[in-house]
Amino acid sequence: MAQAEWQKFDLFNPTEEHAMLRQTVREFVQSEVEPQAAEFDRNERFNVPLFKRLGELGLLGITVGDEFGGSGMDTVAAVIAHEEISASDPGFCLAYLAHSMLCANNIASNCNDEQKKRWLPKLSSGDWIGSMAMSEPHVGTDVLGMKTTAVKSGGDYILNGRKMWITNGTIDDKGTPGDCVLVYAVTGEKNGRKQVSTFIVEKGFAGYSVGQKIKDKLGMRASNTAELVFQDCKVPAANLVGTEGDSMIHMMRNLEIERLTLAAMSLGIARRSIEIMTKYAQEREAFGQPLSQFGQVQKMIADSYAEYRAAKTYTYETARQMGGGHSDSHRLDSDGAKLFASTAGKNIADRAIQTLGGYGYVGEYVVERLWRDAKLLEIGGGTLEAHQKNMTRDLCKNGFKS
């Protein structure tokens, strides 16, 4: 790259299209997401009409090819969208991630063209709301411990089992399921190991229901979390993704962009927290001078900014390397970015509360909601411990490359 081009390069907005996307999403967030965030968090409700507005903006199928109704953008674009939305309403953003990354991007990465034509236009437009179901009540994300089964019966598969902690598993308090869900289920054994397969289950399939909506969560209350129940649920064989036993491939193709967008959510939380604490420290006085003049507060603000920039650079550089988002070759750094950013986001929100004191502890100043929402990002999409295990294993297997 020539020196003049290098000087113009912006890691966080590499093209004009990325910069325009960021501006569009930021304006939408300020005008439509921010005014409703506190209310929907307080009432533990998912704002479905606002969610469908994301489809009008082309965000629900942001990484889906335009031939299937999507926007055909890359991983950097997905990271931008999640950072901007999460800076206002991480709970709403989590519902967006479950739909756009766990469901739509998953289908775009792993389904055949006929299946993509069936589901992606409806998911990209917002006519349908989607989700993904892997975790189970007793085994979490331990794939080999999965108990949900799918047995071939004529031209169908019969699913039996339960899934837990499913974002967008229900869209309201009445137990109405989302329109479709990717379900992972055991279809047999091979060489002594369980074979896990992927199915698309649609609302209205006999034997598919919402068990319970999970209420009273610490955070992410503006997204709905539910248990899903499959009791002799009949799923057409045409809804099998790939072939039996392909789920591990499907997961690997989608895990990296999932983890990067979760990291991006932490960036949004961190950025907003720094904005709030910095403004407050300038305006609030103690002993005749602004809080920003005290060393303890300076340390909290300065450390927060440095951690935010480090996390942002790591996340966006990994996203840039991934490109189109259907990759399984950047696991080390997608794990690493989420490992670092999720803890940074939580710690920065915590410092913001400390800086604001009693005001930080109440909802009016937003940071208490951001702090509550931030904790989930150290758990969902892979725990901190899972990232540490994966990264150590990859480094020991492949060696460290600077």
Reading the block at residue 276, the tokens are 């709030």
Reading the block at residue 70, the tokens are 């999507």
Answer positive or negative: Cα dihedral of 278, 342, 94, 76: positive
Q: Which DSSP category does 176 fall into?
A: P
Reading the block at residue 375, the tokens are 């904790």
Reading the block at residue 73, the tokens are 């953008």
DSSP helix/strand/coil, 178: coil
Q: Which DSSP category does 29 fall into?
A: I
Q: CA 340: distance to chain centroid?
A: 16
Residue identified by tokens 């996203």 is: 319
Tell me the backbone φ, ψ of residue 350, rounded to 5 degrees.
-65, -45
Q: List the catalytic residue out of 258, 307, 368, 378.
A: 258
Cα angle 36, 106, 154; round to 5: 120
Please tell me the distance from the alpha carbon of residue 315 to that of residue 322, in angstroms, as a whole number.
Answer: 11
Residue spans of alpha helices (H) in 15-105: 16-28, 34-42, 48-56, 75-86, 90-97
Please tell me the distance from the alpha carbon of residue 192 to that of residue 218, in angstroms, as a whole number.
Answer: 40
Please tell me the distance from the alpha carbon of residue 233 to that of residue 210, in angstroms, as a whole number.
Answer: 13
Reading the block at residue 131, the tokens are 């989700």
Please answer whether residues 93 and 144 qualify as being in contact, where contact means their C-beta atoms are separated by less than 8 angstroms.
no
Answer positive or negative: Cα dihedral of 391, 310, 302, 15: negative
Contacts of 84 (CB under 8 A, 6+ apart): 22, 25, 26, 29, 268
Across 374-388, b (16+ Cβ under 10 Å) vs e yields bbbbbebbbebebbe
For residue 385, indicate whether it is catalytic: no
Taking alpha carbons only, the member of 262, 261, 238 closest to residue 111 is: 238
Active site residues per annotation:
258
